[in-house]
Structure 1
């Protein structure tokens, strides 16, 4: 368990030499929207125009281009990192296990989502009600997410310099999963994946 993300960063190199170390996250194919492609090692998720035929699953997001991690948490403190690179659109955060996966739902704590959003490559928002505009010194390319289940806190960091981007203090009350959306690619640039680190 990590007291804070900074402590995790300081210990990260040491953890690599320990067995067992912290288990890395993987994407859950059964939750993936049909336009999301997950890599064989389940650490990369990419949105493509064509819709893939996935097996039916009551866990799957049907309307929104979303996906969850396979690992869920309901106790303890947990930190993970996500590479978004230079993607112009993405959503990253935490979702309650019970979220509605059938329709188009606003990403807000009231609906079971605690997220950060990037739009147009330089518009960063916290998923509050209404949205809160954030003004980081530069667009983050790696995000750190810190979930403290006991304190019900969800914090987001620019993982390159560990600067705090935003912190929710009304986090999940029950089991929650790391949440991701590579978003629909509406630019002429080739689509870029979201990667779990």
Structure 2
């Protein structure tokens, strides 16, 4: 190869430039194409503003039309707001009027019953009163006759009294049945007891009403269940059995404790659900973070024994609320028995977990930043999504089929 084939690039470029300049005058040579970023920055290929004005104007007109349409939609919604609100109020008032009418009708029926009892009792007493008034009149007549006879001869005294007159006949015997003539107080007391129970139940239902508005569709995650726990087909009921089921191991599954978590996590808002525990002699119900440990039997995996969970549990006749390995004992007596149905209310933003006896709406325990007599205040601002949590305690006998919990259907 000749030596001139290895000329420097600068020489070749210089020769090319001279040849080009000779053909069309001096030009600036760009050996490489410009990058799109450089083109945008320099505006090398951008149209002139005068050419863009019609496009911009059309785009702005479209945006103006869209904005006006959206504003009109908002105004219509605002105009309909009062109408919708009044319709809702009317519906609520009609429901409460029905309740008021039912109560007023029942009140009238009860008052009429009491009034009828009063009238019947009063009629009986009037008859007794009339009889005794007649007896009193007869006594007064005999007394007047005797007083007159004292001032008259014996013959006139004999003429004034009947032949069969005796003092014994002037004594009227008291009838024991008279004491039984009174209003049916026993029935009234039963009525008052029934009315108090209805009132108590009504108050509980009215309180429960506000919670039912936040009812959530809770189900159990089968991947978290211990191998001796069997779920119903819809995933709302769980039973404890003596033998493990042949199911694959899963890192989410509790391997030592008879526990399970819900399938849906709560990250915000208010949520309420109820769990029927009357077929389970010992149980725990609550909420837990997803980070709750699933392996082993130490405190990190037990509901309420760590910072990741809050629970209400019933075991060996004792009802207790647990969190962070601290607990509060709740009274269990004949009058205040352990609940058959537990209501759980979560208000995520406020860091509240509340447990109710769902049948009476008796407040059992509240975990919150306000009520922290025993529990640490710092642990009542939730930092992770919350899952419903459930646990069976180890049965003392081998017959475990009666250990059953059911998430109640609160569909309205």
TM-score by length of 1: 0.85
Greater helix fraction, Structure 1 or Structure 2: 2
CA contact (8 A) 1:114 1:171 kept: no
Greater strand fraction, Structure 1 or Structure 2: 1
Measured against aligned partners, the alpha-carbon deviations of 1:90-121 in whole angstroms (never above 9, x if no partner) come to 0100010111111223333634110011012x
**For residue 248 of structure 2, what is the aligned residue in structure 1?**
55
**For residue 363 of structure 2, what is the aligned residue in structure 1?**
164
**For residue 72 of structure 1, what is the aligned residue in structure 2?**
265
Q: Which has the larger radius of gyration?
A: 2
Return the alpha-carbon distance in structure 1 between the equivalents of residues 298 and 247 of structure 2. Answer: 22
Deviation at 1:12, TM superposition (A): 7.6
Aligned to 1:166, the other structure's residue is in SS state strand
Gaps of 5+ in 1: 16-20
Return the alpha-carbon distance in structure 2 between the equivalents of residues 72 and 40 of structure 1. Answer: 21
Matches within 5 A, 1:19-30: 23-30=216-223
Residue 142 in 1 paired to residue 341 in 2? yes
Deviation at 1:11, TM superposition (A): 5.6
Deviation at 1:164, TM superposition (A): 0.6
Return the alpha-carbon distance in structure 1 between the equivalents of residues 365 and 288 of structure 2. Answer: 16
CA contact (8 A) 2:215 2:271 kept: no
TM-score by length of 2: 0.42
CA contact (8 A) 2:226 2:254 kept: yes
Return the alpha-carbon distance in structure 1 between the equivalents of residues 234 and 277 of structure 2. Answer: 17
Shift in alpha-carbon separation, 1:86–1:139, aligned structure 2, 3 A: farther
CA contact (8 A) 2:289 2:385 kept: yes
**For residue 310 of structure 2, what is the aligned residue in structure 1?**
114
Aligned partner (choices 226, 236, 249) of residue 43 of structure 1: 236
Give the alignment's Cα RMSD to 1 decimal.
Answer: 2.4
Aligned length: 186
Residue 191 in 1 paired to residue 386 in 2? no
Return the alpha-carbon distance in structure 2 between the equivalents of residues 156 and 110 of structure 1. Answer: 18
Aligned to 2:402, the other structure's residue is in SS state coil
Return the alpha-carbon distance in structure 1 between the equivalents of residues 344 and 366 of structure 2. Answer: 10
Pick 1 or 2: higher relative contact order, CA cutoff 8 A, min separation 6: 1
Shift in alpha-carbon separation, 1:168–1:31, aligned structure 2, 3 A: same
Return the alpha-carbon distance in structure 2 between the equivalents of residues 183 and 86 of structure 1. Answer: 13
Return the alpha-carbon distance in structure 2 between the equivalents of residues 164 and 118 of structure 1. Answer: 16
Aligned partner (choices 380, 387, 390) of residue 180 of structure 1: 390
